C-alpha cells in the first residue's frame, strides 16, 4: 500500500486509464497548463499532450456539449467542472443529451462520459458556490452518481466510471483534495453501486456519503464512550443506490440515522427513508432521523455557516433520540 492525497488518487486514476485507452481525454477549465484548479491533473499535459488534456474557456455548456458529441465518434471524455455549481450552466447537455442518447438512439449510441469536480460547501464560498446537487442528478434516469469520501474509493471508482459505457457524475470536494489515505500499489477497480460498511455496530445504522461522513465517524467515537455502538455505511454511489446494504443493517440495528450535506426537501435521505420504511418498517424501533443543512442558501458568515452545516453534535443528538438514550 502507498499513501496518496485525494487529488493524487484522482490523477492516478485518470492517467492509468488514459495510458490504457487512447480514446480517453480530459477537458475543462485550467486542467492543462495550470495542472488543474486543485492540481488533480498535475503532470498530465506533459505526459499526454494538448490533444488529450485540453484547456477550455469558461463555457461549461460548450465543452460539456463537445464532450457528449465526441462520445458518438468513439471517444470517452472526462469533463471537469471547476465546481458542480458551474455545471448548472451546462446541465442541459447532461440531462437532455448525455442521459438520453442511448434511449433516443435505440441503443445505437452509448454515452461513455464522466463529468467530475467538487460538490457541496467548502468554507466561506457563500450561496452560489456551496450547493450539493447529488439528488438532482440522481433523479435523472440514465445517469450514475458517485460521491467518494477517501482516496482509495476515489481512485477505484473513478477508474470504473471511466470504463462505464453510460454517463457518470463523479463528485469530489475542495476540502478533501488534501486528505491522505492508503491506496494499493497494484491496479484495482471498485464496483459502482456497492456501499461500504466502514464501521460495524449493533445499536444504530448511520448512512452517509462524501466529506460530511467524517462527522459521523467523530460522532461514533464519542457515542462509543457512552456505550452506543454505531454501524456506519458509506454509500459511495448515490445512483445506483445500494439499498440492500442499508436494509440488512437496519434489520440488525433496528434504527436509522441519515447524514447528508444537502437541502432537506426531496433529497437522497428522503429516498432512503421511503425505501426503508417501505421494505423493513416492522424492524424499526424508532422513527428514522435525517440530518441535512438548513433549508436556506448557504450563508457567507462563518457563524451562520457553522449553524447551517450538519456536524457531529447533530449526529450524536439524532442517535440518542432514536436509541431513547437517557442520562
Ordered by where they begin, the domains of the chain are 2-183 (3.40.50.970), 196-322 (3.40.50.920)
For residue 100, the model assigns a pLDDT of: 98
244 an active-site residue? no
**Are the CB atoms for 64 and 115 separated by under 8 Å?**
yes
- Catalytic one of 12, 129, 174, 231: 129
* Confidence (pLDDT) at 147: 98
Cα distances from 300 to residues 263, 265, 307, in angstroms, run 16, 22, 11
> So what's the pLDDT on residue 155?
98
Give 10-residue mean pLDDT values along the chain (327 residues): 97 98 98 96 97 97 98 97 96 98 96 97 93 97 98 98 98 96 97 97 98 98 97 98 98 98 97 98 98 97 96 98 88
Q: What is the DSSP string of 264-320?
A: SSSSHHHHHHHHHHHHHGGG-SS--EEE---SSPPPSSHHHHHHHS--HHHHHHHHH
Strand partners, 258: 207, 290
Q: Give the integer Cα–Cα distance in Å for 229 and 285.
A: 16
| Model pLDDT, residue 104 | 96
Sign of the four-CA dihedral 12, 15, 20, 25? positive
Give the per-residue pLDDT at 279. Answer: 98
Please state the pTM of the whole predicted model: 0.96
pLDDT of residue 326: 79
Q: Which is nearest to 195 in space by CA: 144, 233, 248, 154?
A: 233
Cell numbers found for residue 268: 437522497
- From 29, 60, 134, 261, the catalytic residue: 60
Check residue 325 and give its pLDDT.
85
Active site residue 129: yes
Return the closest-CA partner of residue 146 out of 104, 106, 190: 190
Amino acid at each position: 500500500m502507498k499513501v496518496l492525497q485525494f487529488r493524487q488518487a484522482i490523477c492516478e486514476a485518470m492517467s492509468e486509464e488514459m495510458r490504457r485507452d487512447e480514446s480517453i481525454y480530459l477537458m475543462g477549465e485550467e486542467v492543462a497548463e495550470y495542472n488543474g484548479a486543485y492540481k488533480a491533473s498535475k503532470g498530465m499535459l506533459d505526459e499526454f499532450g494538448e490533444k488529450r488534456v485540453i484547456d477550455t474557456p469558461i463555457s461549461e455548456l460548450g465543452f460539456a456539449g463537445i464532450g457528449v458529441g465526441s462520445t458518438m465518434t468513439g471517444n470517452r471524455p472526462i469533463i471537469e467542472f471547476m465546481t458542480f455549481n458551474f455545471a448548472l450552466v451546462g446541465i442541459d447537455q447532461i440531462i437532455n443529451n448525455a442521459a438520453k442518447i442511448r434511449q433516443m438512439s435505440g441503443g445505437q449510441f452509448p454515452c461513455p462520459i464522466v463529468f467530475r469536480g467538487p460538490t457541496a460547501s467548502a468554507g466561506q464560498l457563500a450561496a452560489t458556490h456551496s450547493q450539493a446537487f447529488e439528488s438532482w442528478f440522481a433523479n435523472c434516469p440514465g445517469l450514475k452518481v458517485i460521491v467518494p469520501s477517501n482516496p482509495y474509493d476515489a481512485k477505484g471508482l473513478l477508474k470504473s466510471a471511466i470504463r462505464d459505457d453510460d454517463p457518470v457524475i463523479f463528485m469530489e470536494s475542495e476540502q478533501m483534495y488534501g486528505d491522505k489515505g492508503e491506496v494499493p500499489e497494484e491496479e484495482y477497480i471498485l464496483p459502482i453501486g456497492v456501499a461500504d460498511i466502514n464501521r460495524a455496530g449493533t445499536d444504530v445504522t448511520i448512512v452517509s456519503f462524501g466529506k460530511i461522513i467524517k462527522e459521523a465517524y467523530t460522532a461514533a467515537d464519542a457515542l462509543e464512550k457512552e456505550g452506543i455502538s454505531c454501524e456506519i455505511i458509506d454509500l459511495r454511489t448515490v445512483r445506483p443506490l445500494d439499498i440492500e446494504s442499508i436494509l440488512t443493517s437496519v434489520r440488525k440495528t433496528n434504527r436509522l440515522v441519515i447524514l447528508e450535506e444537502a437541502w432537506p426537501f426531496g433529497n437522497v435521505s428522503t429516498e432512503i427513508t421511503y425505501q426503508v420504511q417501505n421494505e423493513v418498517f416492522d424492524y424499526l424501533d424508532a422513527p428514522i432521523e435525517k440530518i441535512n443543512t438548513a433549508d436556506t442558501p448557504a450563508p457567507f458568515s462563518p457563524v451562520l455557516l457553522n449553524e447551517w452545516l450538519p456536524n457531529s453534535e447533530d449526529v450524536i443528538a439524532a442517535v440518542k433520540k432514536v436509541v431513547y438514550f437517557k442520562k
